[in-house]
Amino acid sequence: MSRREPPAARPGQPVVFPPVTRIRLANRLAIWFVERRQLPFVTVSLVVPAGSAIDPIDLPGVASLTADMLDEGAGGRSAIEIQEAFGRLGTTLNTEAGSDAVLLSLSVLPRHAHEACARVADLVMRPTLAVEDFERVRTLRLNRLRQLRDSPSSLADQAFVQAIFGAYPYGHQPWGLTQAIERMRIEDVAHMHEAAYQPSSCTMIVVGSLEPGDVARIAESAFGTWKTGSDPIPSRKMGSDTIPSASRVILVDRPGAAQTELRIGHVAVPRRTPDYHALVLLNTILGGQFVSRINLNLREQKGYTYGAHTAFDFRRLAGAFVLQTSVQTDATADAVRESVNEIAAIRGERPPTTQEIDFGRATLTRGYARHFETTGQVGRALAQLAMYDLPDDTFDRFVPGVRAVHADELTTAAERHLHPGELVVVAVGDRVKLESGLALLGLGDPVVTTVAI
Amino acid sequence: MTNMESQSINIPFSKHILGNQLQVIIHEDHACKLAAVNLWYHVGSKDEVAGRTGFAHLFEHLMFEPSKHFGTTYFELLQRAGGQINGSTSTDRTNYWELVPSNALELALWMESDRMTHMLPSLTATAFETQREVVLNERRQNYENRPYGLAIVALTEALFPADHPYRWITIGAPADLRNATLADVRAFFRQFYHPANASLTVAGDVDTDAVLDLVNDYFGACPAGEAPPVVAPAPARATASRRILEDRVELPRLYSAWLTPAIFTDGDADLDLASDILAGGKPSRLYRRLVYEERIATDVSASQNSRELGGFFAVSVTAVPGVGLDVVERAVASEVAAFAREGPGDDEVARAKALTETAFVSRLQRVGGFGGRSDQLNSYNVWLGDPGCFTRDLDRYRDATTQSIREATARHLLPEHQVTLSVVPAGRTDLAVAGSDVVVVS
């Protein structure tokens, strides 16, 4: 046996996404089911298109506060009784309030699936929304925001979305802003619930060891009486009200900080962009993986950071392109310069090489199967189809789609969607040590600001 | 295939020992076209000495640098093959894993065996210096620059005596990291990174006989080392103490901690269930009283930290604005005392067991990665000497009773051995538990 050459891979097998059974209840609630028999286990999710992007402009945070209120009293049970009921079924409900949707999910042994769905139905169809519970939950949220104000990464995230999105629906984090949360009333939550929690716009996703017939019966029994209410809230569009920050370098002072938290980026594209496969490949080369250009530069060559990566944050509307890292204070200006140079270079003087493209294609396509190993992963994949209105064959098209991206398409995608001249830099760190270095980057004078969360 | 509806969990495997003492566990499951390679070295920060901390973890970083037969970082070839790669260091062990499409299994074994056999000669001073900076930055990011991030440093210093290797955290002290030399690191590798101190699991869409052949080919030539000395500090017994750590936070947080039994020993599972009943979710005793009813706290959590040389149990509670930690501490102490006196109710135990069982099956869905089947097989092999302890492990929880949970709590969560740490905003030591001393950690 020779150790000199790496062993070659045997031929692989194509990844085929499991077949999805789709039915609709009379009230238009969509039910998607994937049968999985490896383990006696079922993951149930409900996708509600009620994320923070539909927060009214003066009420940032109301959508996520509404999601929080669902399990604070429903179907005649108190907050504690609801969680006791889930606990007896061996599960806890996971509520994720994102920008585009609220995702309620839980995993149970199959014998508890029926009961678990009935309890979820209580939450979305029959929440109590009592004023005393609301006051308690609102106080908890305000205290949560106090804790986020101590966290450099939360400050950087909020400063970044505010700077690049302005008044656009993604210009605040789902958890909202203190000033608005303080003003909110239970009526705001009740209105959000009535308008945004409608069977016709929701998708129930079931993955696991059940029969299609079981799923149909469970869904009908739990959600069959869910009535369509008033007109749904119209979703907000990206409009001329977007006011991105005029300054390019935003400095949030954290005296004596042990590191500088950095975000560098700009507004990019929605998930449904026709350039999706090209952008995924481009990002893999630029900053999506350990061996991508930016991490190799900032971590493996310079040792400035524990890690640096970039992402196109694909959402329903145009999300951000963002580089995210946390670097040692005295390397901050250098790290920003290197980052901006890497982003500029990949669409200019150093376009992706043939080797990088081969590598990116290989890593993305050969490892694709591992994204669909568990019921939770398959459920999450289906939730993306629901959240972003993607075609049924999205996952089967990924591997051939990435393989088919040509070098010139990558160049075009980089030119279209990376804009070095529009990059906004957010730095949360020790102003005294950072300000002069950042001023010399040629991105304009740093604007020192505070971040309201 | 497991069957939770019946009582036993059957994860089929075979165990082999190579001529150089390497333990090899193979588990076949062809449901997904994935192969998992998982390698444990029985070394962690417990094998370090005071003044020379952080080596085990720093070495983990160096294991991703080029080895003799691959001139790139460890990631390049494996990511090209579609693999996912990671590693982690704890107080007790260091694990490395690759999750690859099953057609690339041989590559993963080639890589993993190359760094076990040929890492040392390739290691350069530049790589060493760079990774030291990376680790110092990891420490800044995850501890120094994170709210409450240094509490664990203050807590372990209060819990463990000066000569106990759990006194320092795995990432080590910055001064020790700066003082480390390449020679230190080489000596460390020779002592701990060899077949006699390792356990290898290969799992997933693989053929047992073929794997055994490959493992013999690739790992068989690695020289056997000497089993490192057993670390056996005197049993630690914390004396009660009250400390204050000032931090860049707005809301003060209380930590109450006790030394508890080691992983898989008597009382470990009982205390794990107790942590859930005390502070897991809204129905838990501390959430219900402190957050839901009295509204003096905004979050609660508790955990039994199960480790090889002994565990520790920690409760943490963040106060709401305007409430001092004395009030919080009294409420926590009275709940813990009541729990130790009266024990949990039948319904509380039933829920905690049901949640444990679901989480157990959920982890078994994955063949690779942290906590997946391959990692579990190695965990049982290293801690219990038998990879097939799934049912035995779960039975520890199934067999727990209101009585056993009460007894474990009463025996180990004693006020006279309680360590109390108040993390308060800088300059607000008045918010701390009365009678506490200020400590400084970095």
Residues A264 and A373 in one domain: yes
Residues B327 and B430 in one domain: yes
From chain A, the residues in CB contact with B295 under 8 A are 136, 139
Closest chain A residue by Cα to residue B350: A88
Phi and psi at B33, nearest 5°, equal: -85, 55
Can you tell me the distance from the alpha carbon of B353 to that of B358, in angstroms, rounded to the nearest whole number?
Answer: 9
Amino acid at A50: A
Q: Which two tokens stand for residue A42?
A: 């079922």
From chain B, the residues in CB contact with A90 under 8 A are 354-355, 357-358
Residues A273 and A409 in one domain: yes
pLDDT in tens, A316-373: 999 999 999 999 999 999 999 999 999 999 999 999 999 999 999 999 999 898 999 9
Residue pair A362/B81 in contact (Cβ under 8 Å)? The answer is yes
From chain A, the residues in CB contact with B135 under 8 A are 306
Residues B297 and B428 in one domain: yes
Question: Closest to A258 (Cβ–Cβ): which among B75, B144, B218?
Answer: B144
Question: Closest to A92 (Cβ–Cβ): which among B72, B114, B355?
Answer: B355
Contacts of B76 (CB under 8 A, 6+ apart): A291, A359, B70
Residue A307: how many CB atoms within 10 A of its CB? 17
Q: Do B250 and A13 touch (CB under 8 A)?
A: no
Residues A267 and A152 in one domain: no
Q: What is the DSSP letter of A238?
A: -
Q: Do A144 and B73 touch (CB under 8 A)?
A: no
Please check whether residue B253 lies inside any domain of the structure: yes
pLDDT at position A407 over 90? yes
Residue A2: how many CB atoms within 10 A of its CB? 6
Can you tell me the distance from the alpha carbon of A355 to that of A361, in angstroms, rounded to the nearest whole number?
Answer: 10
Can you tell me the distance from the alpha carbon of A370 to that of B273, in angstroms, rounded to the nearest whole number?
Answer: 32
Contacts of B285 (CB under 8 A, 6+ apart): B277, B278, B279, B335, B339
Please check whether residue B6 lies inside any domain of the structure: no
Q: Do B281 and A11 touch (CB under 8 A)?
A: no
Closest chain A residue by Cα to residue B364: A39
Residues B187 and B269 in one domain: no
Can you tell me the distance from the alpha carbon of B11 to that of B361, in angstroms, rounded to the nearest whole number?
Answer: 12
pLDDT, residue A38, reads: 85
Q: Do B134 and A303 touch (CB under 8 A)?
A: yes
> Which range of residues forms the domain containing residue B280?
241-438
Please check whether residue A9 lies inside any domain of the structure: no
Contacts of B398 (CB under 8 A, 6+ apart): B353, B357
| Residue A44 DSSP SS3 | strand
What is the gyration radius of the CA atoms in chain B, in angstroms?
23
Closest chain A residue by Cα to residue B107: A7
For the CA atoms of B149, B153, B156, B157, what is the dihedral angle to 10 degrees?
A: -150
Contacts of A36 (CB under 8 A, 6+ apart): A18, A207, A208, A209, A375, A378
Can you tell me the distance from the alpha carbon of B226 to that of B231, in angstroms, rounded to the nearest whole number?
Answer: 15
Residues A262 and A340 in one domain: yes
Residues B257 and B390 in one domain: yes
Closest chain B C-alpha to A231 CA, distance in angstroms? 34
| Residue A66 DSSP SS3 | helix
Residues B103 and B174 in one domain: yes
Closest chain A residue by Cα to residue B102: A12
| Residue A245 DSSP SS3 | coil
Residue pair B344/B280 in contact (Cβ under 8 Å)? The answer is no
> Which range of residues forms the domain containing residue A412?
249-449
Question: Closest to A147 (Cβ–Cβ): which among B83, B217, B251?
Answer: B251
Can you tell me the distance from the alpha carbon of B98 to that of A77, in angstroms, rounded to the nearest whole number?
Answer: 46
Q: Do A359 and B79 touch (CB under 8 A)?
A: yes
pLDDT, residue A234, reads: 60
From chain B, the residues in CB contact with A285 under 8 A are none
Please check whether residue A141 lies inside any domain of the structure: yes
Please check whether residue A56 lies inside any domain of the structure: yes
Can you tell me the distance from the alpha carbon of A301 to that of A327, in angstroms, rounded to the nearest whole number?
Answer: 14
pLDDT, residue B4, reads: 44
CATH number, position A219: 3.30.830.10
Q: Do B145 and A375 touch (CB under 8 A)?
A: no
Q: How far is CA A441 from CA A305, A329, A337, A438, A445, in A?
A: 20, 16, 7, 6, 9
Q: Which of A88, A69, A191 minimizes the C-alpha distance to A140?
A: A69
Please state the rounded mean pLDDT for residues A288-308. 95
pLDDT, residue A13, reads: 74
Q: What is the DSSP letter of A166?
A: T
Residues B414 and B319 in one domain: yes
From chain B, the residues in CB contact with A362 under 8 A are 80-82
CA A424 to chain centre: 20
Contacts of B337 (CB under 8 A, 6+ apart): B415
Residues B173 and B103 in one domain: yes
- Of the pLDDT bands very low, low, confident and very high (cuts 50, 70, 90), residue A2 is low
Closest chain B residue by Cα to residue A141: B298
Please state the rounded mean pLDDT for residues A210-218. 96
Closest chain A C-alpha to B231 CA, distance in angstroms? 31
From chain A, the residues in CB contact with B365 under 8 A are 38-39, 41, 373-376
Amino acid at A111: R
Q: Do B32 and A369 touch (CB under 8 A)?
A: yes
pLDDT, residue B58, reads: 97
- Of the pLDDT bands very low, low, confident and very high (cuts 50, 70, 90), residue A232 is low
Mutate to test the interface with A, among B134, B246, B287, B299 (most CBs of A within 10 A): B134
Q: Do B281 and A304 touch (CB under 8 A)?
A: no
Residue pair B437/B429 in contact (Cβ under 8 Å)? The answer is no
Closest chain A C-alpha to B274 CA, distance in angstroms? 15
Please check whether residue A77 lies inside any domain of the structure: yes
Q: Do A300 and B130 touch (CB under 8 A)?
A: yes
Phi and psi at A409, nearest 5°, equal: -70, -35
Q: Do B282 and A79 touch (CB under 8 A)?
A: yes
Residues B107 and B197 in one domain: yes
CB contacts < 8 A (A, B) = 222
Q: Which of B418, B420, B426 minimizes the C-alpha distance to B147?
A: B426
Residues B80 and B116 in one domain: yes
From chain A, the residues in CB contact with B82 under 8 A are 12, 362-363, 365-368, 370
Q: Do A6 and B218 touch (CB under 8 A)?
A: no
From chain B, the residues in CB contact with A107 under 8 A are 358, 362
User: Which ipTM value was assigned to this complex?
Assistant: 0.94
For the CA atoms of B390, B396, B397, B403, what is the dihedral angle to 10 degrees?
A: 170
Residue pair B35/B107 in contact (Cβ under 8 Å)? The answer is no
Residues A277 and A422 in one domain: yes
pLDDT, residue B6, reads: 47
Q: How far is CA B201 from CA A29, A344, A370, B112, B195, in A?
A: 45, 44, 18, 12, 13
Please check whether residue B5 lies inside any domain of the structure: no
pLDDT at position A238 over 60? no
Over pLDDT 90: what percentage of chain A? Answer: 90
pLDDT in tens, B52-94: 999 999 999 999 998 888 888 899 999 999 999 999 999 999 9
Please state the rounded mean pLDDT for residues A224-251. 70
Residues B334 and B404 in one domain: yes
Question: Closest to A363 (Cβ–Cβ): which among B82, B147, B283?
Answer: B82
Residues B215 and B314 in one domain: no
Question: Closest to B107 (Cβ–Cβ): which among A9, A147, A291?
Answer: A9
Please check whether residue B4 lies inside any domain of the structure: no
Can you tell me the distance from the alpha carbon of A202 to that of A64, in angstroms, rounded to the nearest whole number?
Answer: 16
For the CA atoms of A272, A273, A276, A282, what is the dihedral angle to 10 degrees?
A: -140
Q: Do B34 and A302 touch (CB under 8 A)?
A: no
Please check whether residue B2 lies inside any domain of the structure: no
Please check whether residue A233 lies inside any domain of the structure: no
Amino acid at B135: V
Closest chain B C-alpha to A109 CA, distance in angstroms? 7
Residue pair A265/A321 in contact (Cβ under 8 Å)? The answer is yes
Over pLDDT 70: what percentage of chain A? Answer: 96
Residue pair A165/A23 in contact (Cβ under 8 Å)? The answer is no
Residues B430 and B394 in one domain: yes
Q: Which two tokens stand for residue A225?
A: 């009486």
Residues A278 and A204 in one domain: no
Closest chain B residue by Cα to residue A106: B358
CA atoms within 13 A on the CB side of A274: 3
Residues A273 and A380 in one domain: yes
Please check whether residue A5 lies inside any domain of the structure: no
Residue with more model confidence, B239 or A97: A97
Helix or strand (DSSP H, E) at A359: helix A354-366
Residues A367 and A431 in one domain: yes
CATH number, position B252: 3.30.830.10
Closest chain A C-alpha to B116 CA, distance in angstroms? 13
pLDDT at position A237 over 80? no
* Per-chain mean pLDDT for chain A: 94
Q: Do A13 and B33 touch (CB under 8 A)?
A: yes
pLDDT in tens, A244-285: 556 799 999 999 999 999 999 999 999 999 999 999 999 999
Q: What is the 3-state secondary structure (H, E, C) of chain B?
A: CCCCCCCCCCCCCEEEECCCCCEEEEEECCCCCEEEEEEEECCCHHHCECCECCHHHHHHHHCCCCECCECCCCHHHHHHCCCEEEEEECCCCEEEEEEEEHHHHHHHHHHHHHHHHHHHHHCCHHHHHHHHHHHHHHHHHHHHCCCCCCHHHHHHHHHCCCCCCCCCCCCCCHHHHHHCCHHHHHHHHHHHCCHHHEEEEEEECCCHHHHHHHHHHHHCCCCCCCCCCCCCCCCCCCCCEEEEEEECCCCCEEEEEEEECCCCCCCHHHHHHHHHHHHCCCCCHHHHHHHHHCCCEEEEEEEEECCCCCEEEEEEEEECCCCCHHHHHHHHHHHHHHHHHHCCCHHHHHHHHHHHHHHHHHHHCCCCCCCCHHHHHHHHHHHHCCCCCHHHHHHHHHCCCHHHHHHHHHHHCCHHHCEEEEEEECCCHHHCCCCCEECCCC
Q: Do A289 and B75 touch (CB under 8 A)?
A: yes
* Strands laid side by side in the A42-48 sheet: A21-24, A30-35, A203-208, A42-48, A102-108, A94-97
Q: Do A374 and B366 touch (CB under 8 A)?
A: yes
Residues A212 and A281 in one domain: no
Residues A142 and A214 in one domain: yes
Q: Which residue has the tokens 């983990």?
A: B60
Domain count, chain B: 2
Q: What residues does B437 pair with on adjacent strands?
A: B243
| Residue A226 DSSP SS3 | coil
Please check whether residue B1 lies inside any domain of the structure: no
What is the gyration radius of the CA atoms in chain A, in angstroms?
24
Please check whether residue A8 lies inside any domain of the structure: no
Q: Do A303 and B31 touch (CB under 8 A)?
A: no
Q: Which residue has the tokens 């999601």?
A: A67
Mutate to test the interface with B, among A39, A92, A108, A325 (most CBs of B within 10 A): A39
Can you tell me the distance from the alpha carbon of B381 to that of A341, in angstroms, rounded to the nearest whole number?
Answer: 49
Residues A281 and A402 in one domain: yes
Domain count, chain A: 2
Q: Which of A415, A420, A417 minimizes the C-alpha distance to A442?
A: A420
Please check whether residue B226 lies inside any domain of the structure: no
pLDDT, residue A233, reads: 65
Please check whether residue A347 lies inside any domain of the structure: yes
Would you write out chain B's pLDDT as a tens digit for each of its 442 residues?
A: 333 444 678 899 999 999 999 999 999 999 999 999 999 999 999 999 999 999 999 999 999 998 888 888 899 999 999 999 999 999 999 999 999 999 999 999 999 999 999 998 889 999 999 999 999 999 999 999 999 999 999 999 999 998 899 999 999 999 999 999 999 989 999 999 999 999 999 999 999 999 999 999 999 999 999 999 989 888 788 889 999 999 999 999 999 999 999 999 999 999 999 999 999 999 999 999 999 999 999 999 999 999 999 999 999 999 999 999 999 999 999 999 999 999 999 999 999 999 999 999 899 999 999 999 999 999 999 999 999 999 999 999 999 999 999 999 999 999 999 999 999 999 999 999 999 999 999 8
Closest chain B residue by Cα to residue A358: B80
Residues A201 and A78 in one domain: yes
